[in-house]
Amino acid sequence: MASPNHNHTNFQLRLDFIHNLLSGYLDLPPKVLKDTKITPVQYEADFPFKYNNFVYQVLLPDSEIDDFEIFDETQMTKPGCVAIPKRTIEFILRLSNPDAEGLHHATRVQNEVGILNLASEALGHIKPTVVPRVFGWDVNTGSENPGWILQERMPGEPLANFHGMSFAQKRGILGQIAELLKGLQEFRLPESIRGWGGVTYDDRGVLVSAPMTVVGAGPWSSLQEAFEGRVKEALNKTDNSSQLHGWRSNGTRERIDRFVKHGLAALTAHLESKNDRSIIHGDFTTDNLLYDPKTGRITALLDYDFACIQHPAHEFFCSFTTWDGQLGGWSPDPEAASFQHAKLTGRFPSPLPARDGSDINWEIAEAWEIELQKLGVKRPSLFQGIDKVADTEALLGLLLPWRLTNEDALRRNPDEEKRKALRQDGERQLEDILEHVGF
């Protein structure tokens, strides 16, 4: 019999932790706790990669809700929390996975709670609300006490069938997404959040700047410093990688170092709006949206684990993959270059290129651009100098190829010849983009 994988090993321990949490934090009587249903959400016991979070739906017994005064003695004193409404019987509980790779565990819960609150304000004009309220949270203090967030269970169904929708339905969804993005972009950040990076709560319960969760460094005082800090962290990780060895073979590292010293600041300086900051969701895809299939309305924007405060263009580098809305950097591939040009100018070719086996869905990408234009959303074609920043983002992504740095990916690919081929391909891509930017 195969042993359980890393996700499922502590399955029962997590359930025990949840029972203790519900008993202590919500003060649930034993009888109610006994009849409470705790169901994993989007969980596969044999999933080969570590989950960033373990998500559970918590359903209290409706028939017993009137038999006791629930929540009266609950002290939701942490910043960012609201009181649980009476007769609430359904919740979502997110447990942070302390073994998740590439995340800054010291402030990731605080960052998510803080951004949830900011996003709730930013999108407060959309009714019904699309951002879940937070009822409680705590930080990670080890594998036996993971960080957690107890939040509102939002209505709607996962937007999993987006690709199966009609073109008109897709455009309707994209129009609503554009409205959400516009709200996040236009929100005025509190004066206490002064930097680029993540957020956390200080001792007074005030939101302040903090390290960027997906980087583990920051905050930074400018966009240029943010890029310098992100590149530095990435290079440190390559130095410690048993597969990459700092990209020091064949002179690639020397070229990277020259770019960092002489080219990085110049590329970011080309961006006219480099002082702009906004809420960045960081994983804005259909996987994190709920909708009402009867009305076609989006009902929730979920999962702010990768969220941060960055230049508004940053969302286009890390989100929108479901509908080919992501902006890539320079590419030697002619179709990819043409696609990037369309996004950078806001002008798509007519007629649109045929699919003919291409991975690019030109029709949907153009529809996305049209919806952004309709609402006046900040988008790549409005950011003068964004092409240079896109190249920097692309180089950052190439520094740490996932298949050579993720423990689970490496475990699934033990063949050294295949790893060598991946390294050679990664080195070639790095050298191509370095040559493109003049290094």
- CATH number at 48 reads 3.30.200
CA distance 381 to 389: 13
55 lies in some domain: yes
Same domain, 137 and 226: no
Please choose, from the candidates 304, 299, 315, the residue with its C-alpha nearest in 3D space to the C-alpha of residue 368: 315
Same domain, 218 and 275: yes
2 lies in some domain: no
Same domain, 51 and 146: yes
Q: Among 140, 155, 170, give the residue marking a domain's end.
A: 155
Number of domains forming the structure of the chain: 2
Same domain, 83 and 188: no
Q: Among 124, 140, 155, give the residue marking a domain's end.
A: 155
Same domain, 112 and 236: no
Same domain, 272 and 377: yes
- The structure's pTM equals 0.95
pLDDT at 331: 94
Expressed as residue numbers, the domain containing 59 is: 11-155
Same domain, 151 and 166: no
pLDDT at 173: 98
pLDDT at 66: 61
5 lies in some domain: no
4 lies in some domain: no
24 lies in some domain: yes
6 lies in some domain: no
Same domain, 264 and 306: yes
pLDDT at 70: 60
Same domain, 211 and 275: yes
Q: Among 127, 155, 183, give the residue marking a domain's end.
A: 155
Same domain, 19 and 98: yes
Look at the alpha carbons of 261, 228, 385, 340 in this order and tell me if their dihedral is positive or negative: positive
Same domain, 181 and 329: yes
384 lies in some domain: yes
Same domain, 100 and 196: no
pLDDT tens, position by position, for the chain (439 residues)?
A: 344 578 999 999 999 999 999 999 988 989 999 999 999 999 999 999 999 999 999 999 987 666 555 665 455 689 999 999 988 999 999 999 999 999 999 999 999 999 999 999 999 999 999 999 999 999 988 777 899 999 999 999 999 899 999 999 999 999 999 999 999 999 999 999 999 999 999 999 999 999 999 999 999 999 999 999 999 999 999 999 999 999 998 999 999 999 999 999 998 888 989 999 999 999 999 999 999 999 999 999 999 999 999 999 999 999 999 999 999 999 999 999 999 999 999 999 999 999 888 899 999 999 999 999 999 999 999 999 999 999 999 999 999 999 999 999 999 999 999 999 999 999 999 999 999 999 9
CATH number of 270's domain: 3.90.1200.10
3 lies in some domain: no
